[in-house]
Amino acid sequence: MAEGLRERKKRQTRQYLSDVATGLFLERGFDAVTIAEIARAADVSVNTVYNYFPTKEDLFLDRSQGVVDRLSRYVRGRDEGESAADAVLRELRVQVEGVSPAVGLMEGYERFMRVIEGADSLKARLWHIQQEVLRSLEDTLRKECGAGDRTASLVAGQLSWVHATLMAYIGGEMVAGRKAAEVSRDALVLLDDIEDLLGETVLNYARRAAE
């Protein structure tokens, strides 16, 4: 369905507010910037900012919903013969090998991570996002397998750990000043090591049968 004029303007305004806020956060740190200052810099009212972003953390982590659904999308889109773990590992390898900004392999990512490291509220929000990733994936696995046992929860926990471990590694290496292409190569090795640690139950869970 084509995007209407109203929806496009709302999306553009939301992106503009996030961009203005992120610029201020990168320059001065998260805790040092107020919503009122963001509103002034964007030439809008404080209420307008809150209409688009209920909290200040939402302004910085404005793409969290895409992260929450990421692993579930990979699982739902798995190919015939692929398990849930196969799909997650394949897609993560594609992102890493392609030096994708989606997994933090981009110039300037270290500045983004330093803002998070300097703000307890952002670190807490990241933890909540990780829990949302886990719940979303668990729900997807239950729906895909029609399972009511706890195996779906355990597999979701393992695959969420894979994602969180990869992202933590990339973030740490980028903050350390390494180039994205270098981190990409080592992250691929890390994914191989992670796969070796996963048990057969996880690796074979939710394997999609041929139609």
Give the pLDDT of residue 209.
Answer: 85
Give the pLDDT of residue 157.
Answer: 96
* Residue for token pair 């292409």: 181
The burial of 11, by beta-carbon neighbours within 10 Å (0-12 exposed, 13-18 middle, 19 or more buried), is given as exposed
Angle, CA 6 vertex, CA 50 and CA 52 arms, to 5°: 10
Give the pLDDT of residue 146.
Answer: 78
- The Cα-based distances of 192 to 57, 73, 147, 150, 186 in angstroms read 34, 22, 28, 27, 10
pLDDT per position as a tens digit, 55-94: 999 999 987 777 889 999 999 999 999 999 999 999 999 9
Please say if the pLDDT value at position 1 is more than 60.
no
CB 144 within 8 A of CB 83: no
Give the pLDDT of residue 210.
Answer: 74
| pTM score of the predicted model | 0.87
- The Cα-based distances of 159 to 58, 151, 156, 203 in angstroms read 25, 12, 5, 10
